[in-house]
């Protein structure tokens, strides 16, 4: 980009930012210590019992609602939308500048090291599959059975050691240390661990696990999909080699993700996808073949036209959360967690699932079962009779939920699609999850609804349709 065009693009980027700031100011609500404004906060839904109610979105662990700030930023940029990296036009140069500035913003949000790369992907799953694709030959992978399938399953080309579910953070560290010390042969190794469980919400001892990995010559990747929306994540402080997360859990649901961290394995491996953008130079050989020189930067693994709107939305969310202040966000979330846990503790029929115990620090993700209830039936009643959206199933963490429920591995159960009819036992649980956009009223309504359903039963009849429990017409 020429100096003059670069200056013009930067100026236009500033114009987009100013337009976005004005839109945010016009639509913002006084935040104080309350929830951040999110899309859908005023949406009403019908109840099977009659009437309508404001929807209580309590499924943040699956996909969090977009922050109003993110939506306004994207809307402000939309008129300037253009191709990225390979366009000579003004809007292309502007979009390229915005795209690369988003990379800088994400690196700052994660407190990356100067030599780290930030690669944009489609999701956490895509990020971890990318890392799996660039592992050196003979790399051994160590992963706890408690992981989400996104971090449990991608390592098909490596020698994988699955570690049993620990019952304390200290046991997690000790289990990993033993496994790494016993590995043979002593070659490259990678540890994959979650920062916060998508089932129990419990925080894992990431810094201690990273220290154990490095002490035994291994590297570590942090699945921060559930951690980054709730707590600050510092690559340097935690001393992890890579971190992965998704935009759609970070209040920017536009199909983008991030893999950030050490550049060497990424730089030395073949591109994750072969195509335009990943290649620096392509030439025909005399024998009829093709010689390719690949980029050594993050572009090496970003072939094709990038999702500039998704990337920009992630950067916008990073800025919004940073400006809101994680200290206040964490404090408010702890207040909501206490409300839910105290309310559920008053219902003897409810059993909250936990690995590390009641006193373990956690994010706003809580899973439970209710004696005498099919979990799908209970979740359906919360939705149809109270306008509350939660999740039921195995949460794409089958081994962990089976361990928590004390079931045998062969027992039936699917991720969100139990086959049992209402009233029959099924291997699944209910998950309530919340975050920066959740008002107190939503968790209060949830606790009240749980108590009513357990005490009085459902007001409506339900049936199983295509594996899901739905109100009977």
Residues classed as catalytic: 396
Task: Please tell me the distance from the alpha carbon of residue 248 to that of residue 242, in angstroms, as a whole number.
Answer: 19
**Residue in the structure block whose two tokens are 């930030």:** 118
Segments in 226-369 forming alpha helices (H): 235-238, 264-268, 308-324, 326-345
DSSP state of 154: S
Rounded to the nearest angstrom, the gap between the alpha carbon of residue 190 and the centroid of all alpha carbons in its chain is 21
CB distance 44 to 376 below 8 Å: no
Would you call 343 exposed, middle or buried from its count of C-beta atoms within 10 A (0-12, 13-18, 19+)?
middle
Cα dihedral sign, 341-346-349-355: positive
Task: Please tell me the distance from the alpha carbon of residue 232 to that of residue 150, in angstroms, as a whole number.
Answer: 21
Nearest by Cα to 318 from 257, 273, 248, 251: 251
What region does 132 belong to: left with phi over 0, alpha with psi -120 to 50, or beta? alpha
Phi/psi at 240 (5° precision)? -90, 155
Phi/psi at 146 (5° precision)? -80, 0
CB distance 45 to 55 below 8 Å: yes
């Amino acid at each position: 980009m020429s100096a003059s065009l670069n200056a013009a693009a930067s100026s236009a980027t500033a114009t987009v930012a100013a337009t976005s700031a004005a839109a945010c100011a016009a639509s913002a609500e006084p935040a104080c210590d309350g929830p951040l404004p999110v899309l859908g906060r005023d949406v009403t839904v019908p109840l099977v019992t009659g009437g309508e109610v404001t929807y209580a979105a309590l499924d943040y662990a699956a996909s969090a609602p977009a922050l109003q700030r993110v939506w306004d930023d994207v809307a402000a940029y939309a008129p300037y939308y253009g191709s990225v990296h390979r366009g000579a036009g003004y809007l292309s140069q502007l979009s390229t500048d915005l795209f690369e500035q988003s990379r800088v913003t994400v690196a700052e949000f994660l407190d990356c090291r100067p030599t780290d790369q930030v690669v944009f992907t489609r999701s956490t799953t895509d990020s971890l599959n990318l890392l799996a694709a660039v592992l050196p030959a003979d790399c051994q992978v160590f992963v706890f059975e408690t992981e989400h399938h996104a971090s449990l399953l991608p390592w098909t080309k490596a020698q994988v050691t699955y570690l049993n579910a620990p019952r304390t953070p200290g046991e997690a560290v000790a289990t990993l240390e033993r496994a790494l010390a016993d590995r043979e042969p002593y070659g490259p190794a990678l540890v994959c661990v979650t920062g916060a469980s998508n089932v129990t919400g419990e925080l894992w001892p990431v810094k201690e696990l990273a220290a154990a990995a490095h002490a035994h010559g291994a590297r570590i990747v942090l699945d921060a999909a559930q951690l980054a929306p709730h707590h600050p994540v510092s690559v340097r402080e935690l001393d992890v080699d890579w971190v992965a997360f998704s935009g759609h859990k970070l209040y920017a649901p536009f199909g983008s993700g991030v893999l950030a961290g050490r550049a060497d394995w990424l730089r030395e491996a073949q591109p994750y996808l072969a195509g335009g953008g990943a290649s620096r130079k392509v030439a025909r050989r005399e024998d009829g073949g093709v010689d390719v020189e690949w980029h050594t930067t993050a572009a090496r693994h970003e072939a094709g036209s990038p999702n500039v709107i998704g990337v920009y939305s992630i950067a916008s969310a990073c800025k919004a959360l940073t400006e809101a202040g994680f200290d206040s966000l964490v404090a408010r979330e702890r207040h909501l967690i206490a409300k839910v846990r105290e309310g559920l503790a008053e219902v003897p029929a409810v059993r909250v699932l936990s690995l590390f115990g009641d006193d373990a620090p956690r994010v706003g993700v809580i899973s439970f079962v209710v004696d005498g209830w099919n979990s799908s039936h209970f979740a359906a009643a919360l939705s149809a009779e109270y306008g509350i959206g939660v999740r039921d199933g195995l949460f794409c963490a089958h081994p962990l939920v089976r361990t928590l429920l004390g079931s045998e591995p062969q027992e039936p159960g699917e991720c969100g699609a139990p086959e049992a009819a209402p009233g029959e036992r099924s291997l699944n649980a209910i998950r309530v999850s919340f975050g920066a956009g959740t008002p107190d009223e939503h968790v209060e309504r949830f606790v009240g609804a749980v108590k009513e359903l357990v005490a009085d039963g459902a007001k409506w009849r339900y049936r199983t349709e295509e594996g899901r429990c739905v109100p009977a017409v």
